[in-house]
Amino acid sequence: MAKNAPNNLTAQVRTTTGKGASRRARREGLVPVVLYGHGTEPQHLELNGRDFAAVLRHAGTNAVLTLDIDGKEQLALTKSIEIHPIRRNIQHADLLVVRRGEKVTVEVTVVVEGDAAPGTLVTQDANTIEIEADVQSIPEQFTVSVEGAEEGTQILAGQVELPSGVTLITDPEVLVVNVVAAPTSEELESEGAGEAGGAAAEGAESEGEAEGDAAESAE
């Protein structure tokens, strides 16, 4: 199950919004967030970036937070996170107002472990599955084993083991893991040669087009 403590964070109410205000907040080590749900007016808040990141590392991307907003406690589910593509720090987050005992629908990561039989290749077709669970009992991840699995083995969403109280929302027939025959060295060489030939042909075609354009310009 998801690790729910310590997930206490102090949230500051944002007095100004917009891109400029968000950039200033980030420079100060704060993360702009929006809290919404249950018919409440969206609240624009700021969280300490380092503390928020530590909670996500501890509890996963579906972290349930206990926010202190001006002295009032509010339970919130981390709904979405925007990460900077280079710095990899949190740029923004959407938080959903939740209540104890409430069931929520979330995407949970599926992790594949183990070594399949020799001569096989394991492909993962679905990295997450959608489930419904009590907001305070959201699994951090699901683990499926391919230890010794032979070619042709498939693991469907409905075959992923779920804890008690967790309901699968994803179509149970969705393919999660597929074990296929590993390509032979000859197949890899043939594929590589084909890609090289295609690239050469594309280059020659581009060169021909360039020469044609040059000739037209000369006319």
**Residues 34-92 pLDDT 10s:** 999 999 999 999 999 999 999 999 898 999 999 999 999 999 999 999 998 988 989 99
Q: Is 60 contained in some domain?
A: yes
Q: Is 49 helix (H, G, I), strand (E, B) or coil?
A: helix
Shared domain for 87 and 12, answered yes or no, is yes
Last residue of a domain, one of 99, 123, 148: 99
Question: What's this model's pTM, rounded to 2 decimal places?
Answer: 0.75
Shared domain for 173 and 201, answered yes or no, is no
Q: How many domains does the structure of the chain reveal?
A: 3
Owning domain of residue 197: 183-219
- 194 falls in which pLDDT band (50, 70, 90)? low
Shared domain for 121 and 159, answered yes or no, is yes
Q: Could you give the C-alpha distances from 177 to 23, 40, 62, in angstroms and in order?
A: 41, 40, 23
pLDDT beyond 90 at 11 = yes
- 191 falls in which pLDDT band (50, 70, 90)? confident
Q: Is 143 contained in some domain?
A: yes
pLDDT reported for residue 184 = 81
- CATH classification at residue 17: 2.40.240.10
Q: Is 59 helix (H, G, I), strand (E, B) or coil?
A: helix
Shared domain for 26 and 70, answered yes or no, is yes
| 175-181 sheet: strands from edge to edge | 120-124, 175-181, 154-156
Question: What whole-number distance in Å separates Cα of residue 167 and Cα of residue 103?
Answer: 10
Question: What whole-number distance in Å separates Cα of residue 88 and Cα of residue 143?
Answer: 26
Q: Is 43 contained in some domain?
A: yes
Question: What whole-number distance in Å separates Cα of residue 198 and Cα of residue 175?
Answer: 32
